[in-house]
Chain A
Amino acid sequence: MTVGERFRIWSRRWRLDHLTTHLTLGFFALVTVTPYLWLLSTSLKLRTEVFTPTPKWIPWPINFGNYAEVFDRAPFGIFLVNTVLVVSGILAAQLLTITLAAYVFARRKFRGVDLLFLLFLIQMMIPIHATFLPNFLTLRNLDLLNTRVAMMLPFFASGYGTFLLRQAFKQIPRDLEDAAVIDGCSGLRFLWHVLIPLAKPTLVAFGLISLVSHWNDYLWPLIVTDTPDVRTLTIGLGMFVQQESGADWTLLMAATAFVTAPLLVIFLVFQRKFIESFMFSGLKGSR
Chain B
Amino acid sequence: MRRRVIFPNKILPYFLLAPQLAITVVFFFWPAAQAIYYSVLLQDPFGLRTQFVWLENFRIILTDPLYLGSVQVTVIFSTAVAALPMGVALLFAVMADRKIRGVHVYRTLLMWPYAVAPAVAASLWLFIFHPDIGIIGRWLNDVGIHWDYKLNGNQALLLVILAASWKQVSYNFLFFLAGLQAIPRSVMEAASMDAGLGRTFWSIIFPLLSPMTFFLLVVNVVYAFFDTFGVIHALTDGGPAKATETLIYKVYTDGVMNLDLGGSSAQSVILMVVVITLTALQFRFIERKVHY
Contact = CB atoms under 8 A, between A and B. Distances in A.
Interface string B85-115: 0000000100110101111101111111111
A129 interface: yes
A247 B134 CA distance: 11
Contacts of A212: 115
Nearest to A102: B20
B50 interface: no
Contacts of A219: 226, 229-230, 233, 248, 252
B98 A21 contact: yes
A100 B171 contact: no
Interface string A17-50: 1101110111011001101101100100000001
A134 B268 contact: yes
A25 B19 contact: no
Chain B interface secondary structure, helix, strand, loop or mixed? helix
A249 interface: yes
A53 to B, nearest CB: 10
Contacts of B34: 134, 137-138
A130 interface: yes
Interface stretch (B41-49, B57-65, B116-124, B198-206): B116-124
A271 B104 CA distance: 9
Interface in A63-105: 96-98, 100-101, 103-104
Interface stretch (A6-14, A172-180, A196-204, A272-280): A272-280
A61 interface: no
Interface stretch (B73-81, B153-161, B172-180, B188-196): B172-180
A-side interface size class: 35 or more
Given A97-B23, A126-B28, A279-B175, A249 B127 contact: yes
Contacts of B5: none
B156 to A, nearest CB: 14
A124 B227 CA distance: 16
A241 B114 contact: no
Given A32-B109, A104-B17, A259 B117 contact: yes
A157 B24 contact: yes
Q: Select the residue from A50, A97, A241, A260 with max chain B CB neighbours within 10 A.
A: A241
B11 to A, nearest CB: 9
A131 B10 contact: no
B223 interface: yes
B16 A28 contact: no
Contacts of A62: none
A50 B272 CA distance: 45
B140 interface: no
Q: Select the residue from A39, A50, A162, A256 with max chain B CB neighbours within 10 A.
A: A256
Contact of B27 (A153, A240, A264): A153
B235 interface: yes
Contacts of B52: none
B31 interface: yes
A58 interface: no
A136 B275 contact: no
Interface of B: 9-10, 12-14, 16-17, 19-24, 26-32, 34-35, 38, 92, 95-96, 98, 100-104, 106-120, 122-124, 126-128, 130, 132-133, 135, 169-171, 173-175, 178, 215, 219, 222-223, 226-227, 229-230, 233-235, 237, 248, 251-252, 255-256, 261, 264-265, 268, 271-272, 275-276, 279-280, 282-283, 286, 289
In the A-B complex, the 4 residue pairs with the smallest Cβ-Cβ separation, listed nearest first, are A218-B230, A134-B31, A157-B23, A216-B117
15 contacts: A17-B98, A28-B96, A39-B127, A42-B127, A108-B13, A125-B279, A126-B275, A126-B279, A136-B255, A219-B248, A223-B256, A234-B119, A237-B117, A237-B234, A285-B222
